[in-house]
A and B are shown apart, each in its own frame.
Chain A
Amino acid sequence: MSIFGLLRIAIKAFSRHRLRALLTMLGIMIGVGAFITMVAIGRGASESVQQRIQAMGANVLIAYSGFSSMGGARGGMGSSGGLNDDDVAAVRRECDAVKYAAGTMDTSAQVVWAGANWATRVMGTTADYLNIRAWQLQRGAMFGQADIDGASKVCVLGQIVVDNLFGADDPVGQTIRVRTINCTVIGVLARRGQSGMGQDYDDTILMPLSTVRRKLSSSGANSSTRVDRIYMSAVSGNDTVRAQTQVLELLRQRKRTKEGDPDDPTVRDMSEYAEMAQETSRTMTLLLAGIAAVSLIVGGIGIMNIMLVSVTERTREIGIRMAVGAKGRFILIQFLLEAIVLTMLGGIIGMALGTGAAKLFAQQMGWPTALGMESYAIGFSFSTVIGIVFGFYPAWRASRLDPIDALRYE
């Protein structure tokens, strides 16, 4: 008997018991459906983290000194004395894998405009900062070299600051008070959203580095050339590692770091954050896929149970088939196919359900989801394998029945 003949028998067999077939498939349907949905959500989360990191600038490098960024706790380590303007200039001059470099100083300040006030992060930097972060201006302009040389009292606002101080009013040209100094708003940054680490890029004010240094820095005069961090961008995404090596080497040289001592300042690139985020979402995906696998196995046990019932019910049929010349393997394949077709069908329905659920999550709850071809392939082959594994024992039992006993079975 051909495989198609056996397939036809198998399909006919369970099309007689539609409700039972449906209930039997339920476990597989839920398992595959859960698998598709969960992988879609996991991948969606991971992709959105990736996108955010891309937005942050995949080729961005940050150099910082343990001394300056960690404060008192690691003060002893900061033997290098931190980073300064000369370091920024040296990086620009000597590292050919680095396209832009901008020193930054961070502080926080209360900002006030016409009775509204807001506490935010103030970053002193240079014009290249926007190029490094690939950040656009929504309106107005960025401060230039002249503003930095002259320590102009100008600022560029992030969207959150605009929302909280100005509401719907146009901030460009207005004067706000930043801590104790009055600053003219010359530009507004485009909306950027949250970073991968949960902080909001838009809750910030950019000011010339020199202005922050002289007017807002707590450390006073001795910080005349100091920077907290150097932001840099590699010439391309592929040059990130080369740029990192160059900058590290240069800084070790400049700070006279001894052979064997740890890097201080250190240079990190965004791919490290990316990997961290990736790792987290991979763990999530594995966990969710594990849950799906458990429900698939439970579904498989359901299949086995029903197939055993089916074999018992059809003992007489098996006897008849054997009497007219069905070899054991024909009976085995017939019942195995029945289990496989059941699980495959359950798998297909499960995939449809899972896709629907993923779309629903995306639509109703705004979760990012990503449906991948390979999760369909995995879901489908997994359900088929479940059919083979759990269908085998009942089919084997059927094939080993004694024809005489089977024919006598009532």
Chain B
Amino acid sequence: MSIAARSKPVEVPTAKKPLIVVKNLTKNYVMGDDLTVHALRGVSLTIDAGDFVAVMGPSGSGKSTFMHLVGCLDRPTVGEYHIDGIDVSSLDRDERAEIRNDKIGFVFQGFNLLSRTSALENVELPLAYAGLKAKDRRKRALDSLAAVGLADRAGHFPNQLSGGQQQRVAIARALVTGAPLLLADEPTGNLDSRTSDEVMGLLVKMNEDRGITIVLVTHEQDISEFARRVILFRDGVIADDRVNEHRRRPQEK
């Protein structure tokens, strides 16, 4: 389904269906003649559509590599990866770019907004690469900014916005294509705790209201508590995978 055809991204799944299916995912980095780093050693898991998953683990555990593979930024050495029913493990660069554009929204620790580019234009960016007309782009980007509560900041440049606001622009950008998956890589790493809670509240809201699947990479325990499911990586394998019994709720304002 193309972005243009997807009129409203609201499609809360009725029955559980898998969005991400990973089988024996392996990634080796050849660093030199006789040094190969085994970043991921055969990971298999399934993430259902509409789930909220926190990925945790110490540095070097393979969680970042896992994140890059799930985000179609890289391709696995061995293994299979299906997103929304599409086998992406064998796609080339351009095909992966299309999948990223259509299926995945990214939120990074460092916000990664284009500098000296207005919030609106930042949010429009994925739509521009999807080939939407300027008028449609504008409308959808404004809608998306409104959804994160920044409709009145559309014309602001990133350096005129606070960290929390910048991260909300990034979330608006991730949501604007109506992608079913939002990948958040340490989204609160650069934010104070109050702003962190705000951003997490927004993610929870998008997950619940729009049924967007969220995969969140974090090393902070209290951030992972917002998730429904927590996966722990260690030495390139899944060390723990459990449902969060005491799920933290964002504070109502």
**Cβ of A255 < 8 Å from any Cβ of B?**
no
A403 touches B73 (CB 8 A): yes
Q: Mark A1-18, 1 if CB is under 8 A from B, else 0.
A: 110010000000000100
Output the nearest chain A residue to B102 by Cβ-Cβ distance: A325
Q: Which of A43-51, A198-206, A326-334, A342-350 contacts B (4 or more CB under 8 A)?
A: A326-334
Which 5 A-B residue pairs are closest in the complex by CB-CB distance?
A: A325-B101, A324-B126, A325-B129, A327-B94, A327-B97
Contact partners of A55 in chain B: CB under 8 A: none
B101 touches A404 (CB 8 A): no
Residue ranges of B at the interface with A (Cβ–Cβ < 8 Å)? 68, 71, 73-74, 93-94, 97-98, 100-102, 106, 108, 112-116, 125-126, 128-131, 173, 177
Give Cα A407–Cα B128 distance, bound, in whole angstroms.
Answer: 20
Q: Which A residues from 304 to 322 make CB contacts under 8 A with B?
A: 316-317, 319-322
A404 touches B100 (CB 8 A): no
B131 touches A1 (CB 8 A): yes
Give Cα A316–Cα B128 distance, bound, in whole angstroms.
Answer: 18
Give Cα A401–Cα B131 distance, bound, in whole angstroms.
Answer: 22
B100 touches A323 (CB 8 A): yes
B114 touches A330 (CB 8 A): no
Give Cα A403–Cα B114 distance, bound, in whole angstroms.
Answer: 15
Contact partners of B74 in chain A: CB under 8 A: 404
Q: A325-B97, A325-B100 are in contact. List 6 more A-B contacts (CB 8 A).
A: A324-B125, A324-B173, A325-B98, A327-B93, A327-B98, A330-B129
A328 vs chain B, min Cβ distance (A):
6
Output the nearest chain A residue to B108 by Cβ-Cβ distance: A407
B129 touches A323 (CB 8 A): no
Give Cα A330–Cα B71 distance, bound, in whole angstroms.
Answer: 20
Q: How many of A's residues come within 8 Å of B, CB to CB?
A: 21
Give Cα A397–Cα B93 distance, bound, in whole angstroms.
Answer: 15
Contact partners of B114 in chain A: CB under 8 A: 317, 320
Contact partners of A404 in chain B: CB under 8 A: 68, 73-74
A151 vs chain B, min Cβ distance (A):
93
A406 vs chain B, min Cβ distance (A):
10
Give Cα A322–Cα B68 distance, bound, in whole angstroms.
Answer: 13
Output the nearest chain B residue to A2 by Cβ-Cβ distance: B131
Output the nearest chain B residue to A330 by Cβ-Cβ distance: B129
In the complex, which of the residues A325, A403, A404 has the most CB atoms of chain B within 10 Å of its own CB atom?
A325
Contact partners of B129 in chain A: CB under 8 A: 1, 321, 324-327, 330
A324 vs chain B, min Cβ distance (A):
4
Contact partners of B100 in chain A: CB under 8 A: 322-325
A16 touches B68 (CB 8 A): no
Q: Mark A376-410, 1 if CB is under 8 A from B, else 0.
A: 00000000000000000000000000011001000
A320 touches B112 (CB 8 A): yes
A134 vs chain B, min Cβ distance (A):
67
Give Cα A309–Cα B126 distance, bound, in whole angstroms.
Answer: 26
A326 touches B97 (CB 8 A): yes
B161 vs chain A, min Cβ distance (A):
16
With contact pairs A1-B129, A5-B128 given, residues A323 and B93 touching in the complex (Cβ less than 8 Å): no
Q: Can you identify 12 A-B contacts, CB atoms within 8 angstroms?
A: A2-B131, A320-B112, A320-B125, A323-B71, A323-B112, A324-B106, A325-B100, A326-B97, A326-B129, A327-B94, A327-B129, A328-B97
Contact partners of A325 in chain B: CB under 8 A: 97-98, 100-102, 126, 129-130, 177
